[in-house]
C-alpha cells in the first residue's frame, strides 16, 4: 500500500466546525504541512459560529487549502498513500463538505479513505512529532464542544471515564467572555484579560460533583459569574454590566482559575484511578497557558509526565487527523466510499 520508499503520506482534511484544515503527515508522526483557514473573523460579529455561513466558507476555502497543504508538503496528490477526513461529530453541513472532498480525492487517486472521529484526533495531537507513542495514559480533551477524560491504551483505544453533564469548558469560556463584553472567541480573550487580574478576587465554588466523580459541570459556574456581575433575580440576564477594566480582569482570572482547578484536579484523579503515570491534553482549551502551567506543576509534584501539544495542534487542525489515520491504515481499518457524516 505504501510507496516503495519514503514515509506513508496521508492527507488529512478537517471541516467539522469553523476552520477549513488540510495537512500532510508522514508515517503518523512528521508534519509535512498543516494549513488552516480560520473563519473567526467571519463569525465574530455574530458572537459565535453560524452553521450555514461556516458551510459556505468551507466551500470557498477547501480546494485552495488542500492545494496549499500538498504544495507545502512537496507531495503531489498522486504520491499520497491515503486520504483521511473527520466524519464525526460536528456541524453536519460542514462535515459533508470535507467528506465529499476526501472521497473525491481517494477515488480519483485510488488510495484508501479513512474516517476519523474528531475527539480521537484531538487526543492524537499530542502524539505528533514524537518518536514514541505516549500510551497508556489519561487523556483530557477540552474544546468548545467537549470536556472528557479517557483512559487511552493506544491511538485508537480510548475508554471514556467522565464527561461534562452540561456545558463544555470552551463553551463556558465563550459564554463568560460574552457576559464580560470580551471579544469572540472567548477562551483567548479571557486568558488575555486574566493576565491583569487576580485569580483569588472572587472565590467561585468549584464544581467537583463528589469526591470520586470524573464528570464535569460548568453551567452552574457560568450562572455564578452572571450573578456576580449583574446581581441575582430574573432581571440579571437583561441588566448591563458596569465593571471597570480591573474588575473584568479579576472576574476573568477567578473564573479561569476555577475551571483550571477542576480540570487539573480531575485529570490527576483519573490518572490515579487508572494507575497510569502520564496525562495527555488536547482540544482548543489546551492552548490556555494557565491550564498548561498548572498541569505541569501538579504533574511534576506527583511524579507524573504531562504531554502538552504545541499550541497550533490544540485548536482544530488536520495534522492530528492525518497522523491518527496512519494507525487506521496500518490496522486495515479503512472506509468505503459510502462513508457517512454524523453530527
Ligand atoms: O478544539 P477547538 O478548536 O474546536 C472544537 O472542537 O470545539 O476548540 C475551540 C474552543 C473555543 O471554545 C475557544 O474559546 C477555546 O477552545 N479556546 C481557549 C483558548 N483557545 C481556544 N480556551 C481557553 N484558553 C485559550 N487560550
Ligand atoms: Zn475541536
CA of 19, closest atom in ligand 1? 3
Ramachandran angles phi, psi of 330, nearest 5°: -55, -35
Supply the pLDDT for residue 233: 73
Q: What is the pLDDT of residues 179-197, one digit of tens each?
A: 999 999 999 999 999 999 9
298 CA to centre of ligand 1 in angstroms: 22
- The whole-angstrom separation of Cα 15 and Cα 60 is 12
Q: What is the pLDDT of residues 208-217, one digit of tens each?
A: 999 899 999 9
Q: What is the pLDDT of residues 47-88, one digit of tens each?
A: 889 999 999 999 999 999 999 999 999 999 999 999 999 999
Count the Cβ atoms, other than its own, within 10 Å of residue 205. Answer: 9
299 grid coordinates: 504533574
Q: What is the mean pLDDT of residues 247-257?
A: 98
Q: Is 137 in contact with 154 (CB distance < 8 Å)?
A: no
CA of 290, closest atom in ligand 1? 24
Supply the pLDDT for residue 231: 83
Residue 97 has pLDDT above 90, yes or no: yes
Supply the pLDDT for residue 276: 98
Task: For ligand 2, an ion, list residues with CB under 5 A.
Answer: 143, 316
336 CA to centre of ligand 1 in angstroms: 32
Q: What is the pLDDT of residues 124-134, one digit of tens each?
A: 999 999 999 99
Residue 4 has pLDDT above 80, yes or no: no
**pLDDT-based confidence at 339, cuts 50/70/90?**
very high
Supply the pLDDT for residue 265: 98
Which protein residues are within 6 Å of ligand 1, measured from CB? 17, 143-145, 170, 173-174, 185-188, 191, 283-285, 287-288, 315-316
For the residues of 124-146, what is the DSSP string, one character each? HGGGTT-SS---SEEEEEE-SS-
Residue 2 has pLDDT above 60, yes or no: no
H/E run at residue 76: none
Residue 3 has pLDDT above 60, yes or no: no
Residue 282: closest CA among 98, 189, 144, 94: 144
Q: What is the pLDDT of residues 152-189, one digit of tens each?
A: 999 999 999 999 999 999 999 999 999 999 999 999 99
Q: What is the mean pLDDT of residues 232-236?
A: 73
- State the chain's mean pLDDT as an integer: 95
CA of 316, closest atom in ligand 1? 3
Amino acid at each position: 500500500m505504501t510507496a516503495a520508499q519514503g514515509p506513508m503520506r496521508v492527507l488529512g482534511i478537517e471541516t467539522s466546525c469553523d476552520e477549513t484544515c488540510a495537512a500532510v503527515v508522514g508515517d503518523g508522526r512528521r508534519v509535512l504541512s498543516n494549513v488552516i483557514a480560520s473563519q473567526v473573523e467571519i463569525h465574530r460579529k455574530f458572537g459565535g459560529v453560524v452553521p450555514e455561513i461556516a458551510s459556505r466558507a468551507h466551500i470557498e476555502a477547501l480546494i485552495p487549502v488542500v492545494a496549499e497543504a500538498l504544495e507545502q508538503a512537496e507531495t503531489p496528490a498522486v504520491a499520497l498513500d491515503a486520504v483521511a477526513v473527520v466524519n464525526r461529530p460536528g456541524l453536519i453541513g460542514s462535515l459533508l463538505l470535507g467528506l465529499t472532498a476526501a472521497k473525491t480525492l481517494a477515488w480519483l487517486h485510488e488510495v484508501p479513505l479513512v474516517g476519523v472521529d474528531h475527539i480521537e484526533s484531538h487526543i492524537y495531537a499530542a502524539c505528533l512529532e514524537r518518536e514514541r507513542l505516549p500510551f497508556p495514559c489519561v487523556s483530557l480533551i477540552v474544546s468548545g464542544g467537549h470536556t472528557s477524560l479517557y483512559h487511552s491504551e493506544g491511538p485508537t483505544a480510548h475508554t471514556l471515564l467522565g464527561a461534562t453533564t452540561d456545558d463544555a469548558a470552551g463553551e463556558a469560556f465563550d459564554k463568560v467572555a460574552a457576559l464580560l463584553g470580551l471579544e469572540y472567541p472567548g477562551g483567548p480573550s479571557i486568558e488575555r484579560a486574566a493576565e491583569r487580574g487576580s485569580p483569588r478576587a472572587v472565590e467561585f465554588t468549584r464544581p467537583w460533583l463528589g469526591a470520586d466523580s470524573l464528570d464535569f459541570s460548568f453551567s452552574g459556574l457560568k450562572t455564578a459569574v452572571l450573578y456576580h456581575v449583574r446581581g441575582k433575580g430574573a432581571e440579571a440576564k437583561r441588566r448591563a454590566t458596569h465593571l471597570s477594566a480591573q474588575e473584568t480582569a479579576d472576574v476573568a482570572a477567578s473564573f479561569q482559575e476555577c475551571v483550571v482547578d477542576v480540570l487539573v484536579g480531575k485529570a490527576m484523579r483519573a490518572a490515579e484511578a487508572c494507575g497510569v503515570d502520564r496525562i495527555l491534553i488536547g482540544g482548543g482549551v489546551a492552548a490556555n497557558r494557565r491550564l498548561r502551567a498548572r498541569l505541569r506543576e501538579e504533574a511534576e509534584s506527583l511524579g507524573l509526565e504531562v504531554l502538552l501539544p504545541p499550541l497550533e495542534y490544540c485548536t482544530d487542525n488536520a495534522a492530528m487527523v492525518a497522523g491518527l489515520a496512519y494507525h487506521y491504515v496500518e490496522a486495515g481499518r479503512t472506509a468505503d466510499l459510502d462513508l457517512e457524516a454524523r453530527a
